[in-house]
Structures are given as structure tokens and as C-alpha cells.
Structure 1
């Protein structure tokens, strides 16, 4: 039987890789992408993969706004979610101390998660890179002295770097939420879902957004996420991405029928079961 192929943003050892293993198990081939846009492009291609996994928000650094926009236009469907406990470490080539470092490289989200730690080290320049694990890999392959990386435990082991400071994230209960993505024609119908992601736009009539949100409340649906995104080419008008939690599909369908009379545009990005937290 062929291994499942899943597209990730980053290289071997990154948090996307860990999320894939946590959700699907370790008997999976990863397909690396150097950006989220490339992740979406590769996931759309059935000759490349069976699906993709994409980080969408972090409990410290917040939403990855570009990814909401990428999903809107992708034609991909959210089939699940997973929450991964994120532990960030400062690492470098063996034998170095934090006083020896001139720069620290990592993904911007990882840097944002660790800014409090670096307040005590103003001599260190923070440099944004495409990926946490790639930052570690780059140090090893190029023998970069005086350069550190922020990444998880696995990249330190994989690329033989020494952890100078462990678990440097500002808040220890640091979690990243990932969406599991599939092509629309390959999603298996799920009759027992209890969560949904969708987006819509509204008119400029006073109270139009609050009326739509009230429709969800009347169906006893929990609004666990709301994110506004500009509508391209239309100044000062917005899409609203929402995540909804409910007891069963009927509540969701009833609310969807009601808001369809008041929202200008509605697109369901996926219905799925609430994800678990992997520590």
C-alpha cells in the first residue's frame, strides 16, 4: 500500500511535520513547500499529494491572516483540525553561548512567540526566515558561527545543534491550530460533524453583522472565531471568516438557512469534528 503524501510548509522536523505525524501517524511521506501559497498550489494537484496541512493561528502570535485569504480562493476543503503544543528552543552549533550570538533566525510566528525572552539580549538581531526547522538546517549545513535558531526539539536532534535555552516561548501553554485540507471532490461526507468554518460578507445596513451573529446565538451555536479580511478591489468592505461549534449538523443547517437571507455571500470552507490538543 502506498504511503499517504501530505504537503507541509517547511522542511523535515518543522512543526507542520510534527502535526502530520500526530494526526496521521509516522507512516506518511511529507511533501515540503517553501511558502503557504506553494502549499495550497501543491495540495490542489492530485498527482502530487493526498492532502495538505496548514497552520492557521497561534495562541500567542494570533492568526496567520494570509492563510485565510489563500483558503477562500483555493477550492480546498477543511476536513479536520488539530492543536499542537508548541515548545520553542534557542539552538546553535555546539559549544556556543547566548553571548556569542549576533543573530537568531526563525519563522516570524516563532519569533513573535519568544520576544519576551530576547528583551534581555538586545545585542541579538532577530531575522525572519521561511521556517523554524529550515533555520536550524541552514546553520548546520553552512556551519554558521554566531547564529542561532528558534525551533522545536526535533530539529535540534535532526541537525545536531545544541539547545542553549529550552522552552523560551513567552506563554508556556503555547498552541498552534492546523487545518487538514483536501480537494473538494475527495472529501468523504461526514454526517456527525460538530464544527464548521465559513466566510460571508454583509451589506452596509446598520446592524447587519450583529443580526447574522444573533442568528447563530439563537441556534445555540458558539462563535469560537471571527476574523475580518478585506475584499480585494473593494475599499473598506470585508469578508468575515467564522468558526462555529454546535451539538449537531441540524443547528448549523438551520442557522445557515437563516443567515442566507441577510449575508451577501456565504461559502462553507469545511464541516468537521472539533480537534484534539497534542502535547
Structure 2
């Protein structure tokens, strides 16, 4: 047997001992969980964990090993907490979700607000998601849409949150935290941008093009071929079309949808290839009511973290250990705390699932702030 083989054999023996000790430790964890169930004591005790990690790391003999022991016991503590959360759920101690379950969303004669005007992609998303019984309301800004829902002047709002080419709509993430409204649905709309102008206008006549910043970003490859054109932002793609039609100037063009061109009587100068292929926008449906449909499959949450090493991993491990599939993670700066961030996560699941409740329990307990944004 070579020296390497001897070392590996000894490591195998040591690893078996580690597993045996780990399982013994987890049995003791179960006893702790049973005590906490009886006493109502919280699972997460940050002070106790800090003291424990400091004491065990001090037993190591080198700086490298001390850091290794810290990392090892951070993971052991995290695993122990997750097992305790599971045991709480198994014993019927669940988090109060305060969310009403529904067989379906009821929106007969609902007031639905969208940003922009008829012909906007938000308008198309609204028409696709809802039926013809609704009463559409249009407003100039997303903030006003959220305010109408919050104040009870609208039942639902339709808001763009993500584009497959240009990425997230960061303002919507911020608005989700500013208002106590909840995501109850989503709708994906294929984006087919068109360059449009007054009938009879040629490309040579144009020197300024209007659109929403996302629309301009999604067509940047096409627009790079016309560096002489000034690019001007407006609040909505359909508003760009409306502006060109209303002002009646042949040097102006808009980037908007085909339906906007038809609605405002504009001529499409360029359609195919204007934006990248498979360009889609995901819209969320927002309500002031905390509800979810029985077959909801996606959960959106937001949380803040203590400013310490490993906290994001520890938080995400609540999702991993419960066998849930994370779909998306985004971060947004916290204005009142420079260079600190909130995290937005989407993952698959339903609030009726014990695994989901276990994960949410762990995240809420360990986060510095937490919001359940919706199950849809």
C-alpha cells in the first residue's frame, strides 16, 4: 500500500466517524426542537450561535483551521435550524400566512389599471389576462397605478417587471416595497416593436425617434445603424405613437406595437428585425388583497440580510434544503443604507406546501427584513 493509499484509508475512517457524530448531533437537535415546541422558544438564536462558533473555532490550532471550523459550524448550525423548522411544521406549528386561498381570481366587472394608453403593451397584457367584462383605467405612471390599487380605486394593476432582452424593470421592484400590494398573477407578452411615423414618411425624413427607454434599449442594434437620429424617452411606447400622431411632424418616428400604429393611424416603416428575436415582457398582476389561487406555482419574496459573510448562502440554503427550485434572484440597493442591498427571489411552490412553509419560516426568522410579495 502506498503512502497516498494509507492516507486515504485513514481519511475514510475519519469520515465515517464524522458522519456518526453528525447523526448523533442531529438526534440531539431533535431534542432541542421538542423543547422549543413545548416552550415556544424561537429556533434562531443569533447570540448563542455566535458564542458557540467562537468557542469551537478557538479549539483549532492554526489560523487556517480556525476559519475552517468557523465555516464548518456555520453550516452545522444552518442545517440544525432547517431540521428544527421541519419538526415544527410536522408538529402542526406553522407560520400564519394571512393569505386567502381561492379557486380562481374573480375579476368580473373589475377595475383594472395600466400605465400608458390604448395600444401599449401593458394594455395588450391586460386584454390577454382578463376578460371583456373589466373596466380599463389608464394612468401616466406606474406609481399612480399602484396608488389606485392601494386606495381601492382599482381592483388590479398590470405592471411590466422583466424583459427577456433588456432585463428587469427596476422601478417596479421598488414600487412593490413602497406599497402593500401583492402579486396575484402574471402574463407574458411577445414584444414586436415597429418603427412608425406619419403616412408618407420615409426613413430619410426622420431625425428623432421616441419610445420608452426599454423600447429603445431593445432596438439598440437597429438604432445603431442610424446614429444621426436623436433618441428621446417617453413614459410609454404607445404614448410615443400618440405623440407622433398628435404633433404631425414628418421628422418624428416612434417605436411601439403594431396595435399602437393601427390605433393612432401611423404607417409602419420597419417591423421585422427591429428588435431581437424572442423578445418578451413579463407583466405582473397586482392586487391589494392577500390571496392566491389553489394551483399557484410561483412565489416571490424580498428580504434584507445582516452585513456578514455567508448570510446570502445561508438564506438560499433554506430553499435548497427544502427541495425547491429557485427561478430568479435580483438585488436592489437600499437607499437609506448605502452599498447594502435587498434581494428579490422567485421560486416554485405553493403556500399550502409544507416545504414552502419551512423555507419561508427559515428565511423570515434569519432575515433582517422580509416580505412575501405573492403566490401566483
Fold in common (TM above 0.5): yes
Structure 1: gaps (5+ residues): 273-279
| 1:103-130 superposed Cα distances (whole Å, 9 cap, x missing partner) | 0100000010001011111111111111
- Whether the 8 Å contact between 1:194 and 1:249 is mirrored in structure 2 is no
SS of 1:260 mapped into structure 2: helix
State the 1:26 CA deviation.
3.5
| 1:205-243 superposed Cα distances (whole Å, 9 cap, x missing partner) | 210101111221122222211111122311222111111
Residue in 2 that maps onto 1:262: 366
State the 1:96 CA deviation.
1.0
Structure 1 residue 194 corresponds to structure 2 residue 300: no
Query: Which of 229, 237, 240 is matched with 2:343 structurally?
Result: 240
Residue in 1 that maps onto 2:236: 131
- Whether the 8 Å contact between 2:193 and 2:275 is mirrored in structure 1 is no
Residue in 1 that maps onto 2:3: none
Higher Rg: 2
- Whether the 8 Å contact between 2:143 and 2:175 is mirrored in structure 1 is yes
Q: Which moved more, 1:221-230 or 1:155-164?
A: 221-230
Taking the aligned partners of 1:196 and 1:188, their CA distance within structure 2 comes to 12
- Structure having the higher strand fraction is 1
Call closer, same or farther: CA 1:167–1:29 in 2, change over 3 Å.
farther
Structure 1 residue 252 corresponds to structure 2 residue 356: yes
Structure 1 residue 105 corresponds to structure 2 residue 210: yes
State the 1:169 CA deviation.
4.1
Residue in 1 that maps onto 2:45: none
TM-score normalised by structure 2 residue count: 0.69
Residue in 2 that maps onto 1:277: none
Query: Which of 118, 131, 134 is matched with 1:25 structurally?
Result: 131
| 1:71-123 superposed Cα distances (whole Å, 9 cap, x missing partner) | 11201010011111110000000111111101010000001000101111111
State the 1:163 CA deviation.
0.2
Taking the aligned partners of 1:237 and 1:156, their CA distance within structure 2 comes to 43
Q: Which has the higher contact order (CA 8 A, sep 6+)?
A: 1
State the 1:2 CA deviation.
7.4
TM-score normalised by structure 1 residue count: 0.91
Residue in 2 that maps onto 1:36: 142
- Whether the 8 Å contact between 1:85 and 1:176 is mirrored in structure 2 is yes
Figure out how many residues of one structure are paired with residues of the other and give that number: 269
Taking the aligned partners of 1:198 and 1:2, their CA distance within structure 2 comes to 28
SS of 2:227 mapped into structure 1: coil
Taking the aligned partners of 1:174 and 1:220, their CA distance within structure 2 comes to 31
Structure 1 residue 230 corresponds to structure 2 residue 333: yes
Structure 2: gaps (5+ residues): 1-106
| RMSD (Å) for aligned C-alpha atoms | 1.7
